[in-house]
Structure 1
Amino acid sequence: MTEPQQQWTETIESKHSLFDLKLGEVWRYKDLVFMFVKRDFVSSFKQTVLGPVWFFINPILTTIVYLVIFGNIAGLSTDGVPKVLFYLSGVTLWNYFASCLTGASNVFTSNAGIFGKVYFPRLVMPLTVVISNLMRFGVQFLLFLLVFFFYLFKGEIQPNIWILATPFLIILMAAFALGAGMIFSAMTTKYRDLQMLLTFGVSLYMYATPVVYPLSVLSGIWKKLAFYNPLSGIFECFKYGWMGSGDFSPLMLIVSSAIIFFILALGILIFNKVEKSFMDTV
């Protein structure tokens, strides 16, 4: 009498196809994602006096600096939008994108210890970064809503139907940061200098994005270049929907979406390739 064959629940292989993303496996590890998100959120408040208040202090102080430098000294236009609300909206969106990008770009180097000890889908870590920062974004977005309703009741802004696109805009930002972050994360396993370059590049990229100025102040070739900046369509659509002003067109958002999903697909493929051998170089 032959014994029944054993049915394995998990199979760990050293080789797999470049296009085998194992997204189903990532879903099975959703509890691990939740645990990492909780760890990141709690660790942000450890040994701090003010705790979650820091999430409000950062955008408030940054908005004040932008108000003084770009609003009063430089005198940049805000398309008729109250300056405080204009700068706060840009700061809120930018903080989420920048934190996701820098966090995802350090996945391999900052988690090399745990990657070398236990197996789990490596895609879990960059997803954790995006979700953790989404919680911080939610806290800062509450501050934006308070200021928004203040000016709404004063009748100084006119929101429109594009306000409903906000969840999609946040998903686009997260996808862009995730894709670009995974590309940089894969490259930094061999070239650590890219970490410093990325920190400097993110600061410069902010000034190439309509964070402290509207697209209407640009002209000529600069406006054409800004049109193909994936974040331009997101920021302009957000400001147009919530504040009713800005140089926004649906085509701009379509272009941004196409570029972002290409970068995301490329980032996942590169990440999937490097994760098999990054422990040899990190």
Structure 2
Amino acid sequence: MGIVNVTPDSFSDGGKFHSTEQAIAHALRLIEHGADMLDIGGESTRPGAQSVCAAEELERIVPVLEGLAHCGLPLSVDTLKPEVMRAAIQAGADMINDVNALQSPGALQAVADSGVGVCLMHMQGEPRTMQHDPMYQNVVTEVKAFLAARIEAAEQAGIARERIVIDPGFGFGKALEHNLALLRQLDAFQSLGVPLLAGLSRKSMLGALTGLDAGERMVPSVVAAVISAMKGAKILRVHDVKETRQALQIVTAVEGAR
């Protein structure tokens, strides 16, 4: 899953692809590099990020969706607002990627009324404050229980299990030790019976481990993606599509030989 941030303030590439033309051109490069799907976001959810209104978010993402309508890949939209979900689906989105796991009033119904897929992510708190001393007794157990409950809520709302993906939410209300525990035990989430998405690309946990700035974290990001894949992740949300795909080709060859 190639990342297309149509925002001025995303933590890694904010502002680089802020215009519609830049975002579409970037998306097409990601396709050339081997992306299987694209994730388009019009509101940054980095730690400390300020929210934007639905109208501004739609002004950013709808033209990009329309410009990529014939690209041949599934298009995901990264949003937590039900009104944005509905408009994005109308504009051609194939999937809603919600950091709030469809907890906003009306979000479950917005997805249930369509035929699109959905990614349910765990986040402790909300983007502006989520990294202010996050606390868990057992992060893996708690995140897994939350995701199981959200899967059940989605199914009860009429969203078929076949449409659901889960994401443990690396970096969303988690300290370094929480992120490492989740990655170490990522295979524990396979028992929930739905595909697992992992998004560690360029995140601060990689900077904490390596001392590298966000723009320098390509190699750690690829390593984290490979670990995630080997522990059962089916979708890898990444900035560096070409390099991640090359690494996965090696892993696939080795695992295939076994």
TM-score where L is the length of structure 2: 0.27
Pick the structure with more strand per residue: 2
Task: Compare CA radii of gyration and give the structure with the larger one.
Answer: 1
Q: Hey, which of these two has a bigger chunk of helix by percent?
A: 1
Q: Higher RCO, 1 or 2 (CA under 8 Å, sep at least 6)?
A: 1
TM-score by length of 1: 0.25
